[in-house]
Amino acid sequence: MPKDSGIGASSKRREDVRFLTGAGNYTDDINVHGQAYVHFLRSDIAHGRITNIDTSAAEGMPGVVKVFTGKDFEGVGGMPCGWEVTDRHGAPMQEPPHPILAQGKVRHVGDPIAAVVADSLEQARDAAEAIEVDIEELSAVLDMKAAAQEGATLIHEDLKNNICYDWHLGEEDNNKVNEVFANAAHVTTLDLINNRLVANPMEPRVAVAEYSRGTDEYTLYTTSQNPHVIRLLMCAFVLGLPEHKVRVVAPDVGGGFGTKIFHYAEEAFCTFAAKACNRPVKWTASRSEAFMSDAQGRDHVSTIELALDADNNFTGLRTNTYANLGAYLSTFSSSVPTWLHGTLMAGNYKTPVIQVNVKAMFTNTVPVDAYRGAGRPEATYQLERVIDKAARELGVDPIALRRQNFITQFPYDTPVALTYDTGDYNGTMDKLEAAADLAGFAARRAQSEANGKLRGLGVNCYIEACGIAPSNIVGMLGARAGLYDAATVRVNATGSISVMVGAHSHGQGHETAFPQVVADMIGIDESMVEIVHGDTSKIPFGMGTYGSRSLAVCGSAMVKATEKVIDKAKKIAAHLLEASETDIELKDGQFSVAGTDKSVAWGDVTLTAYVPHNFPLEVEPGLEETAFYDPANFTFPAGAYACEVEVDPETGQVSIEKFTAADDFGNIVNPMIVDGQVHGGIGQGIGQALLENCAYDENGQLLSASFMDYAMPRADDLPFYAVDHSSQTPCTHNPLGVKGCGEAGAIGSPPAVVNAVLDALNSGGRAVDHIDMPMSPSRVWTAMHG
Amino acid sequence: MTQVSMTVNGKAVSGDVEGRTLLSSFLRDHLSLTGTHVGCDTAQCGACVVHVNGEAIKSCNMLALEADGADVGTIEGQAAEDGALNVIQQAFQDHHGLQCGFCTPGMVMSAAALLKENPRPTEGEIRKYLEGNLCRCTGYHNIVKAIMAASGQDVSSIAAE
């Protein structure tokens, strides 16, 4: 029987009511009395030297408050990078400055050169057109392999080359790796591109900043997944402001997918300008601006080699990747191709020798950073594609080849620095085979063929590492931040509860799911618990929401704080019941003395906490507790996905006929929300596989700068999905046994789609072993007829 | 500035606008009806869909002056006076048809227009009708399901929850 409340119930989302009635409060809905508007003049040249900026005409235009250029930010900090990667020789990565407004050079189309603050947005735009900028154009550096060559045009003249770092993980001894490959019975090699994507949350970024001279206090409203991170970075590294004078609010946020983790120049600019102009300043990105300024995702070019012995056991894996970081280091960009990618190359398999090599490159493109999955999709794609190719080359069943090589003993230390605590990859694959009715595939293929279509089945596995932690380890790996989270459980006198959390909900449903946990622990109705998030003046210092961490990390902090509350409440109950604290039990919102019929209700205890007339003298009044939680390890959600496609041999058009996901997320708090998270991830993964591509021309012009040119998946491109999460091996080291579900769909689905298309083509007698994403009809048709 | 008058959610409203003021901007900035969202600048995303004289239109693609005298409906006018959700809104909540909520007003307004002209649309008809509404969160699964449910169709066989 499905539960109707508490942990495990598909409680309907309470936040929906405001979103469904137009009562949401998104950043662009916030207007501060007297606000001015900013418009950024952005570079339309990918790489060039600024020889002159003349703002005099613009300054005299109607409504103009002030015009800013890079000069106004000399002596002000630049945008910081939060993760220092150490290269294979032990040297720190090359870390170029990233000014708020361009200083001396422009390095990508969209790089902000100047900003106009005016009474109205139209006036700011009009004045920006009157700014004269002379730029000496330099050749744009776009191809990563060419950018790495000696003598390549330098994007940052103060660096020695365009290579941010040349990094390595796993087996260091090249001879040993070479020997594994030399002794292999079979080696499969694959070159592939993980296409550059744009996250495109439906809400564009917005920043509204205000400053009060009377109190010297700032408030920044911004579209962020992590307001405390933004406050810390902006105050400590960019503007040099005291944190206690700066409040950062991320209200309702219309999707993030990673791209709203980062601290952006526009946030710092508006905060700076609010004081400089002594007026609130508002910036709302247009969608075209988002394409030029939101950190983009993926963009890896890789060669992967898999060695197998005569029995088809995996004996070695070697990958060489060029990872595009764009023109500047975005906040967590450096961690994505390294610790979020190299560490996942073992996948679900017991390959004994693994070597990962990554060259991270600067190019004249928009910065690249974490996008849903962040490194893990890139690792999964390489691995699951090369395994599929190996199965085809060897003429063996791709599922059997995977099963044969699955890790089956836990905990398992991978050769690439992780310890998987738990999992059941065969069990999850069993669930997939049943849920996807793989036994019926042959009949479905025959039916498709009768209709003149090629049908293919693609299966793959994935593993991800979520809830990055613990802080001492990630610190050793280069993180310049801790990765704990925090929660304060404030019980009100009449028994209702406000929980202030460091996680931020921008679609994940925390406002519904988190109360399910607290209510379940106490045995009260969910409606008595409310979540407060997104405002640094209200919540404890938390690290926000990304990397599928919210429930596993912040939820654990919430559980710890609730346990403290219950412990204290038991002391009060013991006093009221004249019993020993150790005899007090809490069930269904009643404290009772074990073995007796004496009890006192939750609400009576909470009232006593705040009206402490009859109260234990050794206990402080009140009932409010805070906990910080730093996990002992990552969590490791894993799964198996199956995609069935039909390919039209006449046109190369691919249609997704059936998509099935079997995931092991450990314990689940709200199955309805988990399903929704998986659906959304799969939608984005299918988008990457079939439709989406962020393209630049040879001069660095962004060709896909609007929804007219960047193919977002639409309802008609996608099917219904079948999602099964009944395979559950609870996480062994957090109190809820949860693993995280936010990114799985986007990680697991692209290789399933590509494997399915190749299976379809090969079934039709075309020996095609790879097609790069997105698999547009022209690419598929060309592969078939090439 | 030119004066524009129209009926919005049953109430007569008017305001002074520039010739270039979009209907979406008039609703958001002049009337503070911020439920109508703007997610793009090329009339692709559909977050700004409202009803003008009963038809679903993208309010970012219409000048406020063009709506002079029109009967305009927005997301704020969809629920009952006492706040009760209408059938479509309720179906979106029941079937988890929204996550971040940003595309939701446009989805609800488009769904209402669809069901008005086609009270029992098939899955395929719904998907086709929503080609002008982008959602980045849901993969559309639960949006399509919610609209089918709102039209009275049994959706229990559509993939387990």
Residue A91 lies in a domain: yes
**What is the 8-class DSSP label of residue A689?**
I
Q: How far apart are the first and last CA of chain A?
A: 55
**What is the 8-class DSSP label of residue A637?**
-
Question: Taking residues A164-191, what's their average pLDDT?
Answer: 98
- Six token digits for residue A471: 């802080």
ipTM of the complex: 0.98
Yes or no, beta carbons of A202 and B134 under 8 Å apart: yes
**A290 φ, ψ (degrees, to nearest 5):** -60, -40
**B11 φ, ψ (degrees, to nearest 5):** -110, 140
pLDDT in tens, A286-343: 999 999 999 999 999 999 999 999 999 999 999 999 999 999 999 999 999 999 999 9
pLDDT in tens, A201-242: 999 999 999 999 999 999 999 999 999 999 999 999 999 999
pLDDT at B157: 87
Structural domain harbouring A223: 27-138+202-255+260-293
Pair A64, A126: CB distance under 8 Å: no
**Could you tell me if A646 and A623 lie in one domain?**
no
**Could you tell me if A129 and A49 lie in one domain?**
yes
The dihedral built from the CA positions of residue A650, A654, A657 and A658, taken in this order, carries a sign that is positive
Chain B partners of A679 at a C-beta cutoff of 8 Å?
A: 138-139, 141-142
Distance in angstroms (rounded) separating the CA atoms of residues B99 and A676? 8
pLDDT in tens, A432-454: 999 999 999 999 999 999 999 99
CA angle A544, A227, A495 (to 5 degrees): 70
Yes or no, beta carbons of A257 and B136 under 8 Å apart: yes
Residue A243 lies in a domain: yes
Pair A280, A207: CB distance under 8 Å: no
**Could you tell me if A113 and A226 lie in one domain?**
yes
Q: Which amino acid is at A276?
A: A
Domain edge (last residue) among A565, A597, A629: A629
A700: Cβ contacts below 8 Å, ≥ 6 apart: A45, A46, A47, A108, A109, A140, A142, A364, A365
Tell me if chain A has a CB within 8 Å of the CB of B52.
no
- For residue A640, the domain's CATH number is 3.30.365.10
Residue A717 lies in a domain: yes
How many folded domains does chain A comprise? 3
Q: What is the pTM of this model?
A: 0.97
Total H helices, total E strands in chain B: 5, 5
Residue with tokens 């970081």: A325
Tell me if chain A has a CB within 8 Å of the CB of B134.
yes
Yes or no, beta carbons of B41 and A286 under 8 Å apart: yes
pLDDT at B159: 65
Yes or no, beta carbons of B45 and A202 under 8 Å apart: yes
Buried b (16+ CB within 10 A) or exposed e, A479-494: bebbbbbbbbbbbbee
- Six token digits for residue A276: 């400089």
Domain edge (last residue) among A586, A605, A629: A629
pLDDT at A4: 86
The domains of chain B, with CATH numbers, are 2-75 (3.10.20.30), 87-150 (1.10.150.120)
**Could you tell me if A663 and A615 lie in one domain?**
no
Distance in angstroms (rounded) separating the CA atoms of residues A763 and A664? 31
Yes or no, beta carbons of A16 and B92 under 8 Å apart: yes
> From A673, which residue of chain B is nearest by alpha-carbon distance?
B96
Cβ burial, residue A149 (10 Å; 0-12/13-18/19+): exposed
Our CA-based measurement puts residue B99 at a distance from the nearest CA of chain A, in whole angstroms, of 4
Residue A489 lies in a domain: yes
**Could you tell me if A234 and A107 lie in one domain?**
yes
Pair A184, A311: CB distance under 8 Å: no
Our CA-based measurement puts residue B152 at a distance from the nearest CA of chain A, in whole angstroms, of 19
Residue A719 lies in a domain: yes
**Could you tell me if A656 and A742 lie in one domain?**
yes
> From A204, which residue of chain B is nearest by alpha-carbon distance?
B39
Domain edge (last residue) among A629, A647, A670: A629
Tell me if chain B has a CB within 8 Å of the CB of A767.
no
**Could you tell me if A672 and A759 lie in one domain?**
yes
pLDDT in tens, A685-730: 999 999 999 999 999 999 999 999 999 999 999 999 999 999 999 9
Q: Which amino acid is at A627?
A: A
Tell me if chain B has a CB within 8 Å of the CB of A721.
yes
DSSP-assigned beta bridge partners for residue A68 = A115
Yes or no, beta carbons of B85 and A21 under 8 Å apart: yes
Interface test mutation site (partner A, options B50, B90, B136, B148, max chain A beta carbons within 10 A) = B136
**Could you tell me if A509 and A595 lie in one domain?**
yes
Interface test mutation site (partner B, options A13, A17, A21, A749, max chain B beta carbons within 10 A) = A21
pLDDT > 90: percent of chain A = 98
Distance in angstroms (rounded) separating the CA atoms of residues A673 and A162? 43
Q: What is the largest CA-CA distance in chain B?
A: 55
**Could you tell me if A649 and A712 lie in one domain?**
yes
Of the candidates A22, A203, A675, which has its C-beta nearest B39's C-beta?
A: A203
> From A198, which residue of chain B is nearest by alpha-carbon distance?
B136
Residue A306 lies in a domain: no
B47: Cβ contacts below 8 Å, ≥ 6 apart: A202, B36, B37, B38, B39, B40, B102, B103, B105, B106, B133, B134
**Which of these, A300, A258, A306, A365, lies nearest to A167 by C-alpha position?**
A300
Question: Taking residues B151-160, what's their average pLDDT?
Answer: 86
Residue A177 lies in a domain: no
pLDDT in tens, B95-141: 999 999 999 999 999 999 999 999 999 999 999 999 999 999 999 99
**Could you tell me if A684 and A587 lie in one domain?**
no
DSSP-assigned beta bridge partners for residue A457 = A644
Question: Taking residues A644-657, what's their average pLDDT?
Answer: 97
- For residue A277, the domain's CATH number is 3.90.1170.50
**Could you tell me if A650 and A685 lie in one domain?**
yes
Residue A20 lies in a domain: no
Tell me if chain A has a CB within 8 Å of the CB of B105.
yes
DSSP three-state, residue A325: strand
**Which of these, A686, A20, A672, lies nearest to A372 by C-alpha position?**
A686
DSSP three-state, residue A146: helix
**What is the 8-class DSSP label of residue A628?**
E
Chain A partners of B51 at a C-beta cutoff of 8 Å?
A: none
Interface test mutation site (partner A, options B125, B137, B161, max chain A beta carbons within 10 A) = B137
Total H helices, total E strands in chain A: 19, 28
Give contacts of A 217-256 with B, CB under 8 A.
252-256
In A278-433, the DSSP E strands lie at 281-284, 300-308, 314-326, 353-362, 412-413, 419-420
**Could you tell me if A643 and A576 lie in one domain?**
no
Q: What is the mean pLDDT of chain A?
A: 97
